[in-house]
């Protein structure tokens, strides 16, 4: 397993996992979410290609609408 930091807490993912794999493992809908890896926002179109490395800091942010 590969250890990353997800929203400040240790989290294990399979070796070679991508951001899409992480989202599927967490069973979270992809809509209204933003992901940053090591403080860099990753566009949704790149989630399938963006592999996770040991120690990567992943921040998952839910978008909330307001008025």
- CATH number for the region 2-62 comes to 3.10.20.30
| Domain locations in the chain as residue ranges | 2-62
Q: Within 10 Å of residue 43's Cβ, how many Cβ atoms? A: 9
Q: 35 vs 4, 14, 67, CA distance in Å?
A: 14, 18, 24
pLDDT for position 5: 99
| Beta carbons of 14 and 1 less than 8 angstroms apart | yes
User: What's the pTM value of the predicted model, to 2 decimals?
Assistant: 0.88
Q: pLDDT tens across 42-60, in order?
A: 999 999 999 999 999 999 9
- The answer to whether residue 8 scores a pLDDT higher than 70 is yes
Residues 6+ positions from 51 with CB-CB distance below 8 Å: 16, 17, 18
């Amino acid at each position: 397993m590969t250890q990353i930091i997800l929203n400040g807490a240790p989290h294990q993912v399979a070796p070679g996992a991508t951001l899409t794999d992480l989202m599927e493992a967490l069973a979270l809908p992809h809509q209204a979410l933003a992901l940053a890896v090591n403080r860099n926002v990753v566009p949704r179109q790149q989630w399938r290609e963006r592999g996770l490395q040991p120690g990567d800091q992943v921040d998952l942010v839910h978008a909330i609408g307001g008025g």
